[in-house]
Amino acid sequence: MSQAHFPSIGRIPFEGAKSRNPFAFKHYNADELVEGRPMREHLRFSVVYWHTMCGLGSDMFGGPTAVRAWDEGKTGLDLAKARVPVFFEFTEKLGAPYYAFHDRDVAPHGQTLRESNQWLDTIVALLKEQQQRTGIKLLWGTAQLFAHPRYMHGAGTSPNADVFAFGAAQVKKALEVTHELGGEGYTFWGGREGYSTLWNTDMKRELDHLARFLHMAVDYKKEIGFKGQFYIEPKPKEPTKHQYDSDSAACLNFLREYDLLPHFKLNIETNHATLAGHTMQHELEVAGGANALGSIDANTGDPLLGWDTDQFPTDLYLTTQCMLSILKHGGLSTGGVNFDAKLRRESIDAEDLFHAHIGGMDAFARGLKIAAAIRADGRLAEFVKTRYASWDSGLGARIESGQENLRSLEARMLDQGEAAANLSGRQEYLENLINEFI
């Protein structure tokens, strides 16, 4: 194991709930079986390159604050090269099996597309070496189609056809390198695919273009034999005031409308769910119901800030809800628990990266164990099942199977005069029940 950049920190061990060592897991024990499967396989933790290596604390009111010895005195491609071994030393010490990146956070923008592609190739060779050295795998790759000024109006939805073409070229290359690195997926987050005002926007045309863009990617994926899963990542706003991929339901509708649904699943991010006015659990259930729950970007917002603050997840109710939905819908197969999360601007030390990820991994490990305990107990599932018992036989079963119609139902109710009495929803009882496990 490389010791060059975090010499005082070794491989993070599992020490159990009684440990007071901040550099140890209290709950994430990779080999421990939960519902007959190791935690490692349930959770498939992934570290993101962008926040971890490139996020230095800048916000709209001020510049970077983070102290990163390995960055000092370097710029451009030299800086990009220097960050690769640091990232892998970090991820390896954490014991996270996966990572994710955007093309332009591993390598810088060149003056031309050709130069950008060359620089990306240089870095991809280093990523590949590090993957081979450590066994860490690529969960998904993606193209950054939002930071460069050319994408000011979007990429796939730009009114400028040349910008669409540039974005398409960038995605082509990003798909190639993701394939080369053995990526298990590829994510499309519509960075600026939305609008700031409808006065200047032909919405229908932009949506048609976005669909064309994604169909081209589907075609190219087949052409190069890339077998990874495609994901769309819903987000309702920020930077635009309305993003077309606004939430799970909107994404599913868009994918269905344009015959893309067979090719995509959703990558659902907590802070995006809350920006959309939903809970993460809601978004996961909408996706799961459509058999499109693919992966999660594990983070959280701040209830008092209406921004995408991308904080590390530490709330056990949140992680329990996530894991209950994930287990219910069959677990993560190609996807993972990807920490699209960043340090607070005030957390300036490299060791804060460890505290943040260790905390997030432990919070998800606890969520997994709590969710499994709730499932083993069975009272919650039994309550929900009983609540719908009127659909299991007789009238409900006949409605579900299409044997009733408005006429037959009217005849029944005219005969009965009133519907059978309702039963209590027992919300407070269930909230107390959940608390027994947390």
Active site residues: 102, 105
Q: Is 340 in the site for Co ion (CB under 5 A)?
A: yes
The correct pick among 105, 184, 193, 233 for binding ligand XUL (CB under 6 A) is: 233
Measured from the CB atom, is 46 or 117 closer to Co ion? 46
For residue 9, give the nearest of 240, 350, 330 by alpha carbon. Answer: 350
Question: Binding partner of residue 187 among ligand XUL, Co ion, none, CB under 5 to 8 Å per kind?
Answer: ligand XUL
31 DSSP β-pair partners: none
Query: What residues have CB less than 8 Å from 399, skipping those under 6 apart?
Result: 391, 409
**Rounded least distance, CB 32 to Co ion, Å:** 28
Q: Is 189 in the site for ligand XUL (CB under 6 A)?
A: yes
Task: Establish how many alpha carbons lie within 13 A of residue 174's alpha carbon, considering only the half-sphere containing its beta carbon.
Answer: 26
Q: Which range of residues in 12-20, 52-60, 106-114, 295-303 is near Co ion by CB under 5 A?
A: 295-303
Question: Binding partner of residue 142 among ligand XUL, Co ion, none, CB under 5 to 8 Å per kind?
Answer: ligand XUL
Q: Is 158 in the site for ligand XUL (CB under 6 A)?
A: no
Q: Are 71 and 86 in contact (CB under 8 A)?
A: no
Q: Is 245 in the site for ligand XUL (CB under 6 A)?
A: no
Q: Is 247 in the site for ligand XUL (CB under 6 A)?
A: no
Question: Binding partner of residue 308 among ligand XUL, Co ion, none, CB under 5 to 8 Å per kind?
Answer: ligand XUL
Q: How many CB atoms lie within 10 A of CB 277?
A: 10
The correct pick among 187, 240, 274, 311 for binding ligand XUL (CB under 6 A) is: 187
Question: Binding partner of residue 357 among ligand XUL, Co ion, none, CB under 5 to 8 Å per kind?
Answer: none
Q: Are 266 and 234 in contact (CB under 8 A)?
A: yes
Q: How far is it, in rounded angstroms, from Cα 227 to Cα 310? A: 30
| Burial (CB count within 10 angstroms: exposed 0-12, middle 13-18, buried 19+), residue 345 | middle
Q: Is 340 in the site for ligand XUL (CB under 6 A)?
A: yes
Question: Binding partner of residue 14 among Co ion, ligand XUL, none, CB under 5 to 8 Å per kind?
Answer: none
Q: Is 368 helix (H, G, I), strand (E, B) or coil?
A: helix
Catalogue the E-assigned strands of 151-206: 185-188, 194-195
Question: Binding partner of residue 27 among Co ion, ligand XUL, none, CB under 5 to 8 Å per kind?
Answer: none
CA dist list (Å): 179 to 96, 137, 225: 21, 12, 8
Which residue has its beta carbon closest to ligand XUL?
189
Question: Binding partner of residue 68 among ligand XUL, Co ion, none, CB under 5 to 8 Å per kind?
Answer: none
Q: How far is it, in rounded angstroms, from Cα 326 to Cα 284? A: 8
Q: DSSP letters of 15-71? A: --TT---TTSBSS--TT-EETTEEHHHHH-EEEEHIIIII--S-BTTB------GGG
Q: Which range of residues in 57-65, 217-225, 314-322, 338-346 is near Co ion by CB under 5 A?
A: 338-346
Measured from the CB atom, is 137 or 398 closer to ligand XUL? 137
For residue 369, give the nearest of 357, 380, 361 by alpha carbon. Answer: 361
Measured from the CB atom, is 102 or 278 closer to ligand XUL? 102
295 DSSP β-pair partners: 267
The correct pick among 283, 297, 308, 362 for binding Co ion (CB under 5 A) is: 297
Binding mask 290-319 for ligand XUL (x = CB under 6 A): -------x----------x-----------
Binding mask 97-116 for ligand XUL (x = CB under 6 A): -----x--------------
The correct pick among 68, 83, 235, 342 for binding ligand XUL (CB under 6 A) is: 235
Q: Is 193 in the site for Co ion (CB under 5 A)?
A: no
Taking CB under 5 A as the criterion, which residues in 243-272 touch Co ion?
269
Scanning the structure block, which residue is given the tokens 């939805």?
Answer: 157
Read off the amino acid at residue 208: D
Two structure tokens written together for 216 = 């081209």
Residues that bind Co ion (CB under 5 A): 269, 297, 340
Residues that bind ligand XUL (CB under 6 A): 102, 142, 187, 189, 233, 235, 269, 297, 308, 340
